[in-house]
Amino acid sequence: MYNLDYLMKILANAKDSNATDLHITAGARPAIRVGGKLRYAPFERILPKDTENLLDELLTEVQKNMLKTNHYHSLPVAFNNIGRLRANIFMQRGSFSISFKLLDRLLKTPEELRIPNVVMDLSKQKSGLILICGDRKSSTSATRAAIVKKISETRACHIITVEDPIEYLFKHEKAIVNQKEIGIDANSFQEGVYSAMTQDPDVIMISFSGDPETFSAALAAAENGHLVITSLHTVGSVKTIRNIIGMFTIEKRNYIKMQLYNVLQAIVSQQLIPTKEETDSMPAMEIMLATTAVKNLIIEDKIHQIPDVIKVSRALGMVSMEDSINALYAQGLISKESAMSYSWHQNG
């Protein structure tokens, strides 16, 4: 029978594996996501009565009533020796499933994350907009956190993060780091960014800016002289810029392009590709630095030409996604099938 004590063992296993997520679903064994890949954990199969028993111990009466009414509930939880988690409870096939996102995770070094030096050097920027882009499984949060940590270690400044949820906790090193969580410290990303701008920050990190209100706030903060680091769920600089411009009405698009011209520093797009043995994942990165040539293409509505600029700007540290994937294949880290599949995904 599953109970909270048994759940603690499963969570401890997930934490030791540096997992990002744990899935408790009736009819299957617990599954954890590590390095973007889902795998089963070495525990017993879960029955519908097991999830009911867990929820009975986990939730208050008020939360149980909310779940009964809405068939869905999300809440923060914390356990000794495990740390903070975000629990998402939902109905499927007449029984409850629970997805836990593990927070306060151990941040690997840039070398372990295989983040190129040119990306880590973005931490030296004093102002402007840095976009770290990729889908939800691409570990953009770790790349953002690595850059923030590098700034905190090397610069006496004030960093404010606006996150949903807070995944990594930062120490106060050379920098002071204040972390705001949506729903607890701010009602929305937009509110969190605009309030942060009044609190004397040098750096603002926003975990996601995928709506026009939040992205407008990010642009405003960058124009105000702050360094802004944020993410979108896009892959590739061309798709990213098209996505940004497409957020806004036709009347506003020229203004948005001018703002990008003024503040954009770089777009880093990443994908996690399974290794040959499928025991780990390797990051492939497109790195676009916002040179004058790139910015002119944005203004002139010629963003489809940006990949050509990337290919001829290797000396500056720019890398195309195709070249990054090919390098992983040449090193024997990924299979030919994966190389072709993820290159197709990028271009498709």
Please tell me the distance from the alpha carbon of residue 169 to that of residue 60, in angstroms, as a whole number: 27
Please tell me the distance from the alpha carbon of residue 16 to that of residue 30, in angstroms, as a whole number: 15
Query: Can you give the pLDDT at residue 16?
Result: 92
Query: Inter-axis angle of helices 61-70 and 48-58, to 10 degrees?
Result: 130
Query: Over the Cα atoms of the chain, what is R_g?
Result: 21
What DSSP line would sit under 143-188, residue for residue?
Answer: HHHHHHHHHHHH---EEEEEESS--SPPP-SSSEEEEEEBTTTBSS
Taking only the tens place, the pLDDT of each residue in 40-88 is: 999 999 999 999 999 999 999 999 999 989 999 998 899 988 999 999 9
Taking only the tens place, the pLDDT of each residue in 214-256 is: 999 999 999 999 999 999 999 999 999 999 999 999 999 999 9
Q: Which residues contact 296 (CB under 8 A, 6 or more apart)?
A: none
Query: Can you give the pLDDT at residue 345?
Result: 57
**Six-digit token pair at 243?**
């996505």
Query: Can you give the pLDDT at residue 278?
Result: 76
Query: Can you give the pLDDT at residue 348?
Result: 42
At 346, the pLDDT band (50, 70, 90 cuts) reads: low
Is residue 6 packed enough to be buried (19+ CB in 10 Å), middle (13-18) or exposed (0-12)?
A: middle
